[in-house]
Chains A and B, each alone.
Chain A
C-alpha cells in the first residue's frame, strides 16, 4: 500500500464527518458555502482542510435530504451568494449525529488510551 505523502499539517476529513460539520456551522445562523468553508477551517484552528468541490456537493446532498434549505441572497459586502440555513429536520439530525459522534470518539478513546481510564 503506497504511503500517502503529507507535508501538510491539515487533515482530510473523514467520510461522513463533513455533513456533521456543515450542520454544526449552520446552527449559528444562515451562511453561504465560502463562509462555511472558512468557518470550519478557522474553528478547527486550520487543522481541517475542506475540499471545496466536496463541500458544495455535500451542501447539495444535505439540501436534497431536506436537512438544510438554500436561498440566493446578498452577502454582507453586497455580493450575490447562495445562503444555507438549517431546517427542523436538520436540527434533529445534528443532535442525533452529534451524540453518535460523541459516543464514537469516547469509544475510540477507550480503546486507544485505556490506561488513563484505569487510573
Chain B
C-alpha cells in the first residue's frame, strides 16, 4: 500500500516541537528561558540544513534508483553482448536510414522557400504559349513583354519578379585572374526586396538598377563561403561574368540558394541587355536577345499576391492584360488559336523539384519505412526471445518480493539504454548518409538536418523505446511468482518462444522483405534497362565541353569556331571534331513548329507538329557515330554562301514525308525566314536523355545560321576521351587565354546524368533490399538460436524417446518455413500494390514482372533457410544424454 508522502511543513513542525521540548527540559534543569532556547538551538545544529536534507532525500532516492536501474541494465546487457550489439546496430541502421531519407525529403519537398510570408508567393504558369514562340518550358516561362506588362501593374500582384539563368549549367566568371565557373541568374530589381530575402552584408538591387541594367552583383552565402572564405572584403570588388565586370554589392543571407530547388545559385545580377549575357547563355539569334525577342519565352516569373487578393481573383484580373501582352510583337492570334491563360501555383516548395524527385522520394520514404519496421520488429523479437528465457529470473524476483513496478522500471531502463545508444549511432549514421545521398543525387541545396529532421528522429526513437519497453512486458509479467517453483527449462520456454506475437512478427518481416525485394528488383531492372538502352550513336570515345567566346558579331564568331575546329583536328589522337548549339544528353532541347515545302504540314488530329532542332557544325553525325540512312552529313563545304542545307531524322521523314523521299524537299522555320534543302536523313537516336522516345528532329548548319555565342564542342578521340582535355584546353587558350572549358566530360557521363535520379533511386532501393534481407536474417537467426538453446532439454527428451535427427530438424524448421510461407503469401499482393505505385518510375519493365517476383520470393525463402540452418543443425547435434544431465 503506497503511503502518502510526508510534507516538508510537517517535518518543520516536528523540528519546532523538538526545540520547544528541549528548551523546556533545559529550563527545568535550571537555565534561564533565553539560555535554554539558545542551547536548544545550538545543540540541534542547523535547522535549515536538516530541512534541506529532508527535502533532498526523496529526490536522491529517485535518482539513485534510476542510476541503479541503468547500471543493472548495462550489466545485464553486457552479459549478452551479441544481443546488445545486434540490437543497437539494427536500431542505428533503421533509424539512421530513415532520418537520412527524411532529411532529403524535408529539404526538397517539405521545407518552404526561405523568404518572408511564402504563403502569399505564387509561381506564374500559362496553359500554353502563342503560336510561333519558343519556350524553355511551355507552361512555366514567359516573354519579356509579358513580364513588363505584369510588373507594371500592382493591383492583383504587388510584385512580379523575373529570374532567368545565365546558362543551362554554369557560366564563365573571373575573379582576379583565374577563369572559373559559377551559376548565376539575371533577376528583377525587386528580386530580394519582393521575396523578402535578407541581405545581411551590403545591399540588394533597386528597380532603377534593373532599368539601367546596372553592373552590380549579389553573391550567395554559400558562394561567399566556398569561394571567398567569408571575406567581407569581397564587397566592392569586381566579378567578371563572361568578361563583363560586375561590382559585388551584397551577400545574401544564409540558407537562400535561389528559387530553383536542388540547384544553388552563386550570384545574381539585374536583368542585362548585352548580347554576351543572353538568357541561358544562348547564342544571339538574328541580333536579338531575350529582351528584344518576343517569340522566346524564357523568363520564369514569381509573384506576390496583393493583400486580400486570392489566387483566383488575381488570375481573372490579370488574364486580359496577360493575353494582350502575350501577342506583343507576334501580330494577332491566328483564327481558332486558343489564347494562353495565366494560372498560379503555390510557391511554398520547389515545384520543378517535386515533379522530378517528389514521387521517387515518397516511394523511397515508404521503402525505408518498411526497413525501419523490420528493424523495430527485429529488436522487439530479440528482446522477447531474450526475456522469455529470463522468465524464471523474473518470477524468481517476483517471488523474492520485487514489485511488478520494479521489474517494469528495469525493463524500461534496458530499452532506454538500447534506444539511446542506437539513437546516437543513428544520428551519426544519418548525417553521413545524408551527405552521401546529396552527392549521389547531385542535390546542391543544403541538406543539413534541421529541427524538423531532429524531431522526426526523436519521435521515431520514442516510438521505438515504447515498443521495446512494452512488448516484452507481457511475457515478463505473465510469469507469476509460482512459475519459478514448479518448472524446468523443458516446459517453461516452449509456449513463450512460440507466442503469437513473435509468430506474427516473423510473418510480417517476411511480408515486408518480399515487398522490398520486389521494389528493389523492379528499380534495379529499370536501371539495367536504362544503362543498356542503345543510344543510337557510338558514345564511347566522345568527349564534350562548352565554350562561350567573347564575340560580338556573326562573322567573328564563325571565324572563331572555324579556327578552333581546324586546330583541334590537328591534335594527335583526335579522329574528328564538331560542335553544336545545344549539348546532347543535357535534357534541354529547342522545340518549334517547322514548315515543309513552304507551309505548316498537316498532321492527323491531335498529334503534335513539334520538331526539335539543333544547330551543329560539319561532320556532326560522323563524329557522333549516328548512321546516315540516305543523303549525306554536313561538311566543311557547307558555308554561308553555298545552298542552305538541313538534315532530318527518321521520325521527321515518317511524319512529314510519308511514303516520299525527303531528299531535295525544303523545310524551314515557322516564320519562313530560313529555308533549307534536306540533304540527309539520319537514324533516330537519343537526343535529350536516355529514357526519351524519339520525336521529329531537324538540324541546321552552323555556318548558314546567323547566331553567335556559346557552343559545345564534341570530339571523337582514340583512347581515354578525358585525356585529350589538357591539350584541347591549350588550344582554346591560344585563341583566348581567359576562356574556360565549361563542364568538360565524356559524352557517356553526360547521358548518364539524365538517369541520375533513376540511378540513385535504384541504388538506394537496392541498399534497402539488402538491408532488409540482412535484418530479417539476423532477426530470424537470433530468435531461432535462442529458442533452440532453450529447448535443448526438450529436444534431448524427444531424442531419448526415439525421435530421429531429421525429425528434430524438421520440428525446428517447420515453424519458420510455415511462417515464411504465410509472409510470402501476404507479401505478394502488397508487392503488386508497390509495383503499381512504382510504375511511373519504371522503364522497360512491367510492374508485374514475373522474374522479379520469382527472385524476390526465392530470396526470402533462401533467407529463411539460411537463417534457420545453423540453429537447426545445432538442434540436430544435441546429445540427448548431455542435454538431460544438464537439466
Chain A residues with CB below 8 A from B21, complex form: 32, 34-35, 75, 79, 81
Q: Are B14 and A52 in contact (CB under 8 A)?
A: no
Known A34-B21, A34-B22; judge A82-B53 contact (CB<8 A).
no
What chain B residues lie within 8 Å of A81 (beta carbons)? 14, 17-18, 21
Q: Is A51's CB within 8 Å of the partner chain B?
A: yes
Q: How far is the CB of B581 from chain A (nearest CB, A)?
A: 88
The secondary structure that dominates the A interface is helix
Q: Give A76 Cβ to nearest chain B Cβ, in Å.
A: 10
User: With A51-B45, A52-B43, A52-B45 in contact, do A57 and B18 touch (Cβ < 8 Å)?
Assistant: no
Q: Is B49 in the interface zone, CB < 8 Å from A? A: yes
Measured between C-beta atoms, what is the minimum distance from A23 to chain B in Å?
A: 19
B20 CB contacts on chain A under 8 angstroms: 79
Determine if B45 and A56 form an interchain contact, defined as CB atoms under 8 angstroms apart.
no
Contacts of A82 in B (CB 8 A): 13-14, 17
Say how far B48's CB is from chain A's closest CB, in angstroms: 9
When the two chains form their complex, are residues A33 and B44 in contact, meaning their CB atoms are under 8 A apart? no
- Residues of A within 8 Å of B15, CB to CB, are 56
A53 adjacent to B18 (CB under 8 Å): no
Please determine whether B25 and A38 come into contact, CB atoms closer than 8 angstroms.
yes
**CB within 8 Å of B: which of A63-86?**
63-64, 75, 77, 79-82
**If A32-B18, A38-B25, A77-B24 touch, does A60 touch B45 (CB 8 Å cutoff)?**
no
Interface residue? B50 (CB, 8 A)? yes
How near does chain B come to A69, taking the closest CB pair, in angstroms? 11
B28 nearest CB across to chain A (Å): 9
Interface assignment of B46: CB less than 8 Å from any CB of chain A: yes
A5-57 contacts to B, CB under 8 A, are: 32-35, 37-38, 51-53, 56-57
Q: Which of B590-632 contact A (CB under 8 A)?
A: none
The prevalent SS among residues of B at the interface is: helix
Interface centre among B18, B20, B49, B53 (most CB of A within 10 A): B18
Determine if B25 and A56 form an interchain contact, defined as CB atoms under 8 angstroms apart: no
Pair B24/A79 contact, Cβ less than 8 Å: yes
Complex alpha-carbon distance, A33 and B24, angstroms: 14
Q: Determine if B17 and A56 form an interchain contact, defined as CB atoms under 8 angstroms apart.
A: no
- A51-B50 Cα distance, complex, nearest whole Å: 10
Q: Who on chain A is nearest to B24 by CB?
A: A77
Min CB distance A30 to B, Å, is: 14
Provide the residues of chain A in CB contact with B43, threshold 8 Å: 52
A37 nearest CB across to chain B (Å): 8
A53 and B45 in contact, given A38-B25, A60-B54 (Cβ under 8 angstroms): yes
Check if A33 sits within 8 Å of B45, measured CB to CB.
Answer: no
How far apart are the CA atoms of A71 and B654 in the complex, in Å?
Answer: 107
- Residues on the A chain within 8 Å of B49, using CB: 53
Please report the C-alpha to C-alpha distance between residue A60 and residue B61 in the assembled complex, in whole angstroms: 13
CA distance A57 to B46 in the complex (A): 13
Is A57 within 8 A of B14, CB to CB? Answer: no
| B11 in the interface (beta carbon within 8 A) | yes
Specify which of B17, B45, B46, B54 is in contact with A79 (CB 8 Å cutoff): B17
Q: Taking the complex as formed, is B6 at the interface, i.e. its CB lies under 8 A from any CB of chain A?
A: yes
* Size bracket of the B interface: 20 to 34
Are A56 and B14 neighbours in the complex by a CB distance under 8 Å? yes
Q: Inside 8 A of A57's CB, which chain B residues have their CB?
A: 50, 53-54, 57
List A contacts of B57 (CB < 8 A): 57, 60-61
Given contacts A32-B17, A33-B14, contact A53 B6 (CB under 8 A): no
Does B50 lie within 8 Å of A56, measured CB to CB?
Answer: yes
How many Å lie between the Cα of A80 and that of B10 in the bound state?
12
Report the nearest B residue to A57, measured CB to CB.
B53
Bound CA span A35–B20, Å: 12
| CA A7 to CA B15, docked complex, whole Å | 28
Distance between B644 CB and nearest chain A CB, rounded to angstroms:
104
- B46 contacts which of A53, A56, A61, A63 (Cβ < 8 Å)? A53
**Which residues of chain B in 1-55 are interfacial with respect to chain A, using CB atoms and an 8 Å cutoff?**
3, 6, 11, 13-15, 17-18, 20-22, 24-25, 43-46, 49-50, 53-54
The reply to whether A33 and B25 contact each other, CB–CB distance below 8 Å, is no
Q: Which residues of B contact A80 (CB under 8 A)?
A: 13, 17
Complex: how many Å from CA A79 to CA B11?
Answer: 16
A52 touches B53 (CB 8 A): no
B21 nearest in chain A by CB position? A34
CB distance from B569 to the nearest CB of A (A): 93
Residues on A with beta carbons closer than 8 Å to the beta carbon of B53: 53, 57
Chain A's nearest CB lies how many Å from the CB of B174?
75
Known interface pairs A32-B18, A81-B17. Does A60 touch B6 (Cβ–Cβ under 8 Å)?
Answer: yes
Which of B3, B11, B50 is within 8 Å of A52, CB to CB?
Answer: B50
Pair A56/B24 contact, Cβ less than 8 Å: no
A75 partner residues in chain B, CB cutoff 8 A: 21
24 contacting pairs across A/B (C-beta < 8 A): A32-B21, A34-B18, A34-B21, A34-B25, A35-B21, A37-B18, A38-B25, A51-B45, A52-B18, A52-B43, A52-B44, A53-B44, A53-B45, A53-B50, A53-B53, A56-B18, A56-B54, A57-B57, A60-B6, A60-B11, A63-B6, A64-B3, A77-B24, A81-B17
Task: Name 20 extra pairs, CB < 8 A, besides A38-B25, A52-B45, A80-B13.
Answer: A33-B14, A34-B18, A35-B21, A51-B45, A52-B18, A53-B44, A56-B14, A56-B18, A56-B50, A57-B50, A57-B53, A60-B11, A60-B54, A60-B57, A63-B6, A77-B24, A81-B14, A81-B17, A81-B18, A81-B21
Q: Which 4 A-B pairs have the closest CB atoms?
A: A53-B50, A34-B21, A52-B44, A34-B18
Q: Mark A residues whose CB is within 8 Å of B.
A: 32-35, 37-38, 51-53, 56-57, 60-61, 63-64, 75, 77, 79-82
